[in-house]
Amino acid sequence: MTFFLDEIQNVPGWESFVRRLLDSEQIDLFISGSSARLLSREVATSLRGRGMEVLVHPFSWREVLRHTGAEPDRPLAAQPKAVRSLLDKALHDYLHQGGFPEAQGASDRDRASLLHGYVDIALLRDVVERHQVTNTTALRWLLRHLLSSPASPFSVQKFHDALRSQGIPVGKDTVHAYLGHLEDAFLVRTVSLFTASERQRMVNLRKAYPVDPGLIAVFERSGRANLGRALETAVLIELERRGADVHYVRTPSGYEVDFHAQLPDRSTWLLQVCTAVEEPATLAREVRALAEAATHYPAATPLLLTLESLPAAVTLPPNLRWQPAAAWLLGDALEGEL
């Protein structure tokens, strides 16, 4: 027998009822909810270690294609040119509109209204009410800053100083706490520096990302397309979906690689995301950073991901791999792999 209990967190005392079901009945029990009150650490406490979390993200790109009836039945490299062109356009659309189901096919105006509503509800219900936040002005400034500056280093000290310069009193510890609340509410994700030193991880800046690339177009106010940031965000969320432990890398020469990812199968990857393949200087800089990082992490597979589905316009060092981001997001194997 299987039981499904949705939005159970709204029922007072649900934990006792669920434990009684598990203790007295031979059942499979699924509990679902859209609130941060169902955080895995709290469910584990409530159910005394008898629960396992499955985090439900917005649609991945493959799921968007499936939703629209356009999911490919073969790897990208095996598709005819016309299909690859359609998939390239579909990826651009995904990076703009994101993966929230209700946002699919909506006009830009309706999508912006919808996503603003999602963010406002999560902010009010899962942060302000849940944590009894009183300094809502500082909290909203923080969220707007993070969502409008995706894939950018975030300094608590600089943000704290900026708030105080605007006459908004807030402590640095409070900013740290607010950042944690926003992550718990699944509004943002942060990535720390990959290092064996916990102190170095703590003192170096984290990079912040929205939980869905569609939020970038809504909160970015400069009018730029921001395809690079959106693609980087999509790659990070896909790595999270695949269960990876993700950090970023800074080489001794000061170059950065977007992601150092350790997957559950124990494979390790260095991923560099690049959209400006038509700019030789930019592409060469990205390749140089990836090549240097590969020398310091020889156990990791260095992979250049490009938005364009054509091979990179520079000759890659022999140890570097390349794959179109579309193929990687679809889960296609690298050439030469089974």
Please give the structure tokens belonging to residue 87. 């998939």
Kind and range of the H or E element at 137?
A: helix 136-148
Residue 338 has pLDDT above 50, yes or no: no
- In CATH, the architecture of 242-331 is 3-Layer(aba) Sandwich (3.40)
Q: What is the pLDDT of residues 157-213, one digit of tens each?
A: 999 999 999 999 999 999 999 999 999 899 999 999 998 777 777 778 899 999 999
Residue 206 CB coordination number (10 Å): 18
Domain boundaries, the chain: 2-46, 60-191+200-222, 242-331
How high is the mean pLDDT of the chain?
88
Domain 60-191+200-222: which topology? Answer: Arc Repressor Mutant, subunit A (1.10.10)
SS3 state at 1: coil
Q: How far is Cα 336 from Cα 297, in angstroms, rounded to an integer? A: 22
More confident residue, 6 or 261: 261
Residue 314 has pLDDT above 70, yes or no: no
In the structure, what pLDDT confidence band is assigned to residue 46 with cuts at 50, 70 and 90? Answer: low
Q: How far is Cα 242 from Cα 244, in angstroms, rounded to an integer? A: 6
Residue 40 has pLDDT above 60, yes or no: no
More confident residue, 33 or 300: 300
Judge if pTM exceeds 0.75: yes
By DSSP bridging, strand 301-306 and strand 268-274 are parallel
Phi and psi at residue 307, in whole multiples of 5°? -65, -35
Average pLDDT over residues 117-125: 91
Q: How far is Cα 63 from Cα 35, in angstroms, rounded to an integer? A: 23
